[in-house]
Amino acid sequence: MEITQHVLEQSQELELRLGLPEWSDVGEGAMGEDYGEDGKTMDGWGEGVRKERAAVCSLTSIIILFFIINNTTTIIIILLGSASELAFLKEPNDVIAVRDRPLMLDCQVEGEGPISVTWRRNGVPIPIGLKASVLANGTLLIKSFQKRRESNETDAGEYDCAAQNHYGMLISRKARVQLASLPKFHIHPESMSVDEGGVARLTCQVNGIPEANISWEKNRTALNTDDNRYTILPTGILQITGVRRSDSGVYRCVASNIANTRYSHEAQLTVTVAAPRIYKEPVILSGPQNLTITVHQTAILECIATGNPRPIVSWSRLDGRSIGVEGIQVLGTGNLMISDANLQHSGVYVCSANRPGTRMRRTALGRLVVQAPPEFLQWPQSVSRPAGSSAVFTCMAQGVPEPHLIWLKNGKILTPGDNVKLTNNNSTLAVTRITTEDEAIYQCIAENSAGTNQASARLALTQSTELLEAPQDLTAMALSPTTLQLTWAQPSPEVTDGIIGYVLHIRMFGEPDSRELQEAVSKTTFQHEFTTLEPATTYSIYLKAYSPLGASQQSSTVVATTLGGVPSSPSFFTKVLNKTAMQVFWELPSKPGKVEGFKLSYRKVPQPNFQGQEAFPGHINTHTISHLEWYQRQDQHRQDDEGSMTGIVVGIHIGMACIIFCALFLMFGYRRSFFCRKGTQDGWSGPRGGDRNQRAGSPKEGVIRMPEVIELVPQRCDSITAPVMVVKGQALPAQCQMK
């Protein structure tokens, strides 16, 4: 670790060119007006940084601390990482090996020695001996690459190297090693007959490692590719346009790579004489196929069409976007070649064969998918932490498809535990309550189908002799619903002289360490207020002191809760249970904090005074009000201990609701009867046993009576219907016929 200190008096300027920074924990106004838009130049900090505040800037392996004390700006530059950090200068790459020939895989490492380099194949250590050896620079040498047919053993596989010193272990990316091969053709050209002036297409396919170079022979003589009527695609396709009689012959394709050369079966091309000027509609003989490639590779989309007159082939994108011109080339009469493909080239491509002078056309579609290997947007940074503290590593990568992140600890898969947490889709690694067992090299591996990438960081345990003592007697007190006051003990003068400033760390209680915020204060300040906090919210806070040697151990953690403000009126609703009772529900506060309780009051309208006040503890959110007057309109109100009240008027309209309900039921129950005729009422009878709905005595004034209802059941009907509720006393049809 290298530390540089700069002291500026007021109005002095310092220009730092350190690369693109990532800013965090910056106090209000700390950025100032002189921060360069390019992210690389910072000047004017004498005016830009607010008094008695600080800013923290983190770059790759760099931390910059800015402190303002009495118009003096102190800038500390801490360079993290040194020769002790293990890092790969060269990692193994994918390679194709040739049987019985030597193979070399690179693995060059820098860092504090001694460094040992070992190799693995498919996760199994490679024994060093006569067959394989590791050179002084870490390179693996396999003297004779083998594949044994009888035992199916092979040296092919996934190779990686591991570098280790006394700080930890680092694992390289995996390199895929394949054995060069050229098997037999699995698709051979087929004989065909083509009209003169038409189009011929011959194809062959072979799966070679590496991809074979395909050429064609006619009558066992190399085909003359100078004739622009011939188009040979890298996929092994031969296209001949404007076929002539001289094109008749025997064709075969030749495949060759570093492993072998092979010849396909022969195919006879016969050219027939067609009747002149016969019209033929456009036909696409072969359209584009779905294709997946990696960025910077070349994509070839085939499209060959025939017809009379000869159709015109054109290309477009299904999404309507322009194909562009850079890196785009047409092979032959209509094949589309995209060189140095990028992610923007992904899409569905449409090949159209148009008859000249008309709108008649035929189309074929093919999807091109361009993948990109992972690239890091943010990689983990090495840190040094005292025992018992916490460390957070962040790793963010992009790629197509979306990369998957895994973490290694000293070369082994990291398993989350009590003090090790992975969050945000494994992009954040938090290590809490650090012990000596947590000292290691942590690696973030980003993988997708297009490739892998890795980044590493070291977690070191700081020795107590190198640190300031932890600040003492940290206490917290709530001043208001949004403010907490922190105080701590003033250290001795000799300790204060070595302190540059303090940094307070705060987060909501129960949230992960990754949500922690920091605020820096002057070394002459032993009291600080956190403002703009959430009311009735509990926070966890600790303090660190900074010296030119780095940060002290953290103080003891204090937990404090902001005061709760006057609660807003809670939302509530009511439910009628019966003629004399209703139930009231209200919402409990969503934010944490102490709630004294609730008060519930109600009154009779239009009386102005409330009655029946009842108190409930803070965890209760329902109550039943009983012994109400029958169908009396009630107005209820609830308030908390602070005197906040809300009144409501509850109208109990059971009578009206019953009338509507009965009318609807009557309407639907007799929807099949459209006409009613006069006659006797013998067709319907009411329930026997007297009127049970009749109440003795007269109701009180102002009380709404429920209309009495009876159940009517049809006695003579051709079909069975459900009972119908009607209001008692209403006139009924003299006669109703069910249809």
For the chain, how are helix, strand and coil distributed in percent, rounded to 5? Answer: 5, 45, 50
Instruction: Give the integer Cα–Cα distance in Å for 472 and 550.
Output: 18
User: pLDDT > 90: what percent of the chain?
Assistant: 48
Owning domain of residue 10: 2-79
Q: Are residues 185 and 268 in the same domain?
A: yes
Q: Are residues 205 and 272 in the same domain?
A: yes
Summarised one tens digit per residue, pLDDT across range 468-481 is 788 999 999 999 99
Q: Does a structural domain hold residue 88?
A: no
Predicted confidence at residue 179, as pLDDT, reads 95
- 63 is written with which tokens? 């931390």
> Cβ(638)–Cβ(584) under 8 Å?
yes
Summarised one tens digit per residue, pLDDT across range 283-318 is 999 999 999 999 999 999 999 999 988 999 999 999
Q: Is pLDDT of 165 > 90?
A: yes
- Give the residue-averaged pLDDT of 575-604: 78
Q: Does a structural domain hold residue 579?
A: yes
Instruction: Give the integer Cα–Cα distance in Å for 650 and 510.
Output: 42
Predicted confidence at residue 440, as pLDDT, reads 95
**725: pLDDT confidence band, cut at 50, 70 and 90?**
very low
CB atoms within 10 A of CB 538: 14
Predicted confidence at residue 135, as pLDDT, reads 95
CA angle 578, 582, 588 (to 5 degrees): 150
As beta bridge partners, residue 578 has 581
Domain closes at, from 253, 277, 301: 277
Residue type at 83 in one-letter notation: A
Q: Is pLDDT of 250 > 70?
A: yes
Q: Are residues 122 and 69 in the same domain?
A: no
Predicted confidence at residue 462, as pLDDT, reads 77
Domain closes at, from 219, 243, 277: 277
Domain closes at, from 30, 58, 79: 79
Query: What integer best gives the mean pLDDT of the chain?
Result: 78
Q: Are residues 187 and 272 in the same domain?
A: yes
Q: Is pLDDT of 669 > 70?
A: no
Predicted confidence at residue 10, as pLDDT, reads 45
Q: Are residues 254 and 323 in the same domain?
A: no
CB-count burial class (<10 Å; 0-12, 13-18, 19+) for 140: buried
Q: Is pLDDT of 406 > 90?
A: yes
Q: Does a structural domain hold residue 93?
A: no
- Of 279-283, 673-677, 723-727, 731-735, which has the strongest mean pLDDT? 279-283
- Residue 250 CB-half CA count within 13 A: 6
**459: pLDDT confidence band, cut at 50, 70 and 90?**
very high
Q: Does a structural domain hold residue 357?
A: yes
Q: Are residues 419 and 433 in the same domain?
A: yes
Predicted confidence at residue 147, as pLDDT, reads 83
Q: Is pLDDT of 328 > 70?
A: yes
Predicted TM-score of the model (pTM): 0.57
Q: Are residues 141 and 219 in the same domain?
A: no
Q: Does a structural domain hold residue 129?
A: yes
Question: Which of these ranges, 6-15, 350-359, 383-392, 688-697, has the smallest mean pLDDT?
Answer: 688-697
Q: Are residues 479 and 557 in the same domain?
A: yes
Q: Does a structural domain hold residue 537?
A: yes
Predicted confidence at residue 649, as pLDDT, reads 36
More confident residue, 693 or 65: 65
More confident residue, 653 or 327: 327
Predicted confidence at residue 737, as pLDDT, reads 29
Predicted confidence at residue 579, as pLDDT, reads 82
Predicted confidence at residue 444, as pLDDT, reads 97
Q: Is pLDDT of 95 > 70?
A: yes
Predicted confidence at residue 84, as pLDDT, reads 64
**401: pLDDT confidence band, cut at 50, 70 and 90?**
very high
Q: Is pLDDT of 338 > 60?
A: yes
Q: Is pLDDT of 394 > 90?
A: yes
CA angle 451, 452, 455 (to 5 degrees): 155
Predicted confidence at residue 544, as pLDDT, reads 87
- Give the residue-averaged pLDDT of 510-520: 80
Q: Is pLDDT of 720 > 70?
A: no
- 452 is written with which tokens? 């892998």
Q: Are residues 241 and 305 in the same domain?
A: no
DSSP designation for 445: E
Summarised one tens digit per residue, pLDDT across range 477-495 is 999 999 999 999 999 888 8
Summarised one tens digit per residue, pLDDT across range 621-632 is 888 888 787 764
Longest dimension (CA), the chain: 121
Predicted confidence at residue 607, as pLDDT, reads 79
> Cβ(566)–Cβ(589) under 8 Å?
no
Question: Which of these ranges, 158-162, 456-460, 618-622, has the smallest mean pLDDT?
Answer: 618-622
Predicted confidence at residue 631, as pLDDT, reads 61
- Give the residue-averaged pLDDT of 605-624: 80
Predicted confidence at residue 517, as pLDDT, reads 87
Predicted confidence at residue 554, as pLDDT, reads 80
User: pLDDT > 70: what percent of the chain?
Assistant: 70
Predicted confidence at residue 630, as pLDDT, reads 73
Predicted confidence at residue 590, as pLDDT, reads 65
Peptide bond into 493 cis (omega under 30): no
Contacts of 172 (CB under 8 A, 6+ apart): 88, 91, 92, 107, 160, 161, 162, 163, 454
Q: Are residues 604 and 658 in the same domain?
A: no
Question: Which of these ranges, 106-110, 356-360, 656-660, has the smallest mean pLDDT?
Answer: 656-660
Q: Is pLDDT of 576 > 60?
A: yes
Question: Which of these ranges, 77-86, 348-357, 589-598, 603-612, has the smallest mean pLDDT?
Answer: 77-86
CB atoms within 10 A of CB 611: 9
- Give the residue-averaged pLDDT of 15-27: 42
Instruction: Give the integer Cα–Cα distance in Å for 629 and 644.
Output: 27
Q: Are residues 476 and 451 in the same domain?
A: no
Q: Is pLDDT of 714 > 80?
A: no
Summarised one tens digit per residue, pLDDT across range 261-281 is 999 999 999 999 877 667 889
Residue type at 507 in one-letter notation: R
Predicted confidence at residue 696, as pLDDT, reads 37
Instruction: Give the integer Cα–Cα distance in Å for 53 and 178.
Output: 59
Q: Does a structural domain hold residue 92?
A: no
Q: Is pLDDT of 347 > 80?
A: yes
Q: Are residues 22 and 53 in the same domain?
A: yes
**150: pLDDT confidence band, cut at 50, 70 and 90?**
low
- Phi and psi torsions of 701, nearest 5°: -65, 140
- Of 8-17, 58-67, 263-272, 527-536, which has the strongest mean pLDDT? 263-272
> Cβ(65)–Cβ(79) under 8 Å?
no
More confident residue, 513 or 717: 513
> Which strand (E) or helix (H) includes residue 486?
strand 483-487
Q: Does a structural domain hold residue 548?
A: yes
- Give the residue-averaged pLDDT of 496-505: 88
- Number of structural domains, the chain? 8
Strand order in the sheet with 572-578: 572-578, 581-586, 622-625
- 296 is written with which tokens? 């910077």
- Phi and psi torsions of 144, nearest 5°: -150, 105
**Phi and psi based region of residue 515 (left: phi greater than 0; alpha: psi -120 to 50; beta: remaining):** alpha
Summarised one tens digit per residue, pLDDT across range 523-563 is 998 999 999 998 888 999 999 888 876 677 788 999 999 98
CATH of the domain at 513: 2.60.40.10
Q: Is pLDDT of 672 > 50?
A: no
As beta bridge partners, residue 116 has 164
